[in-house]
A and B are shown apart, each in its own frame.
Chain A
Amino acid sequence: MILPKILQIPDAFDPDDRRRRQILSIILSFFIAGGLFSILATFSYGDPFLEVIRDPDASLVLLSSVSVVVAFGLLFALNRTYRSGSLAGWLFVLCLIAIISVSDTPSELVGSGLIIWTLPILAGGIVLPPLAVFPIALIVSIANIYISVIVLNLSSNPYAIAIFFMIAALTWLGMSITNRAILTARIEAQKNAAILNGVADGVVVLNENDQVVLANPAALSLMGSGLAHLVNERKDQQELRGRVLAFEWSDVSGVGRVAIVRDISRQIEVERAKDAMLGVVSHEMRTPLTAIIGFAEVIAKRSEPVSEMAGRIRVNAQRLVHMVNNLLDHAQVQSGALKIRKEVVSLPSLMQAMTNLLSGLAKEKNLPLKINFDPTLPETIMGDNMRLHQILVNLVGNAIKFTDRGEVTVAFQRQGSDKTGLWRMVVSDTGIGIPGERLPDIFEPFRRGSDYATRCHQGAGLGLSIVKNLVTLMDGKVEVESAVGKGSVFTVTLPLEKENI
């Protein structure tokens, strides 16, 4: 691996200059290698040194080879020197012209060997800035005219001159286009590098052998010396020195595996603070609400119209309580603090508790609340009483809220065979329905399918989100089918766990 190192040009040069010098280095090394080969060849017949020197042909070859090695060796050194400018390139082109001038008989050089003169022009285009080809073409032309007119006493060949300049023009055009393309690519690469260096997210690229081939400054500052170790664990989240790092992995063809690393400690902290605050606020709101509702209940037992007004105070305060409860549940689901319990649940009691709570509301709206109970379902199952009640009340409460005519039906059904062991709560209504485009995000927090309607429904829009979260925690699923103006059907499917006897 010494050769590439020798050919390598120091970083001090501007990229274009560096590229040209590199090419010149390679060309020069070829000439030097050729010269050395020819010196070796001269001695390879085993003749003693003095005899070789005495042979005029051999000594001429030897002399020219040595001069090539020495001259191009000096050029090679000059080419690597910072202050030399394009001197090495120019000297090389001039040497090339000189070598060509003595490489054949004058008549051959301006006759059938004419094509060889284009070499310095092409070489100049590669190792010198593109415009240099024109002065080189001029020098080549002068050399040609000199040989034709002065040496051979002929007239000059205008076609040859025209061809030289044409070749020069083509070379200039080609090299200019190439240079511009290289420049564009370089600017693009610099831009990308600037972005990569500037982004706050860490970027790490691994090759197919899981070796780190690229890591931007953000990645280094996030992970420090443990970088390679951390990315090789291939986790989505890791803790390091009290910080939480999130990893986003992707496979980029031709690049490798790319990890985007982000410090999410602050985000987690904010989430925690928010949950804690929500918990405290909800908690603190319950105490005064208890007093408001309680006193209203006491007053409601007095005579009309005071009892009527107290009743309204109570209903409104209860609405607030419901909202606070939902907010608290939402916060708990988000923070993962909500746990599902396993206890004996009586399905008839579950249904009864729901009707006790909501039949009044249905009656107020003159809606029949129909109950359907699959007789093949066991009476008791294992589950979380409070949360199942909450799911059912949320769904049925919504159904009543969004239905003005028709009926609301609640069914408990067994699904599939005994082996699959599933049961369903199906809540159907004949209400306003949910438009198709709103269905996908109906279970997202703070969304309500109703806001398309001109009428307003109360609630923070957390009910369905909580239902979805609770059902998911119970390893079940909730689905909805709906048509605007026709009604909605919410189906909660849950694993059926019989009571352990």
Chain B
Amino acid sequence: MKAKVLIIEDDRDLASLFKIVLEMSGFEVSAVHDGTQGVEVLTTQPLPDAIMLDMHLPGVSGEEIYALMKERGDGHRVVICSADVQLVERYKSLGANAIPKPTPMDDLQHMIMDIVCG
């Protein structure tokens, strides 16, 4: 069975790029475009194997979603993806998976792969 990845990213072009790249690596990918939808999917549906999380989201912010996931003990499934390099560095130093935008696609694939195989 294919591993499932959820992309929470408000920029639709970026979301579709990540989707294409991760599908090329053989993942089953779905995407939502705001924080509220993201929380809904995460709380009502089976938990995906990996989550790509943008930080600046309409509705519920990426920070809140990450906090929620961490509280549930699923923080390791999340890859934080942000254009704010300082924010990425801060999360990295806290032990989170974080990757800055612009994102080298190889790095993205490797990171998701590591989490799924983990």
Q: Please report A residues at the B interface, Cβ cutoff 8 Å.
A: 283-284, 286-291, 293-295, 297-298, 317-318, 321, 325, 328, 332, 341, 343, 386
Contact = CB atoms under 8 A, between A and B. Distances in A.
Nearest to A332: B86
B13 A291 contact: yes
25 contacts: A283-B84, A286-B83, A286-B101, A287-B11, A287-B14, A287-B101, A290-B17, A290-B83, A290-B101, A290-B103, A291-B11, A291-B17, A294-B14, A294-B17, A294-B21, A294-B103, A295-B17, A298-B20, A298-B24, A317-B102, A321-B102, A328-B85, A341-B93, A343-B93, A386-B89
A289 B13 CA distance: 11
A291 B14 contact: yes
Given A286-B83, A297-B105, 8 more contacts: A287-B11, A287-B101, A293-B102, A294-B17, A297-B104, A317-B102, A332-B86, A343-B93
A295 B14 CA distance: 9
Contacts of A328: 85
Nearest to A283: B83
Nearest to A386: B89
Contacts of B18: 294
Nearest to B88: A386
A67 B85 CA distance: 98
Contacts of A294: 14, 17-18, 21, 102-103, 105
Interface residues of B, number: 19
B81 to A, nearest CB: 9
A341 B24 CA distance: 37
A137 to B, nearest CB: 90
Given A298-B20, A298-B24, A321-B102, A290 B84 contact: no
A71 B50 CA distance: 113
A344 to B, nearest CB: 12
A279 B93 CA distance: 22
Contact of A298 (B14, B21, B84, B101): B21
Contact of B102 (A289, A298, A332, A343): A289
Among B20, B86, B102, the most chain A Cβ lie within 10 Å of the Cβ of B102
Given A289-B102, A290-B103, A294-B21, A325 B85 contact: yes
Interface of B: 11, 13-14, 17-18, 20-21, 24, 83-86, 89, 93, 101-105
A295 B20 CA distance: 9
A289 B21 CA distance: 16
B102 A290 contact: yes
Given A298-B20, A298-B21, A298-B105, A290 B14 contact: yes
Nearest to A325: B85
Among B21, B83, B89, the most chain A Cβ lie within 10 Å of the Cβ of B83
Contacts of A386: 89
Question: What 6 A-B pairs have minimum CB-CB distances, sorted nearest first?
Answer: A286-B83, A290-B102, A290-B101, A294-B17, A291-B13, A297-B105
A298 B104 CA distance: 11
A297 B13 CA distance: 14
Nearest to A285: B83
Contacts of A298: 17, 20-21, 24, 105
A431 to B, nearest CB: 28
Contacts of A293: 102
A139 to B, nearest CB: 93
Nearest to B81: A290
Nearest to B84: A283
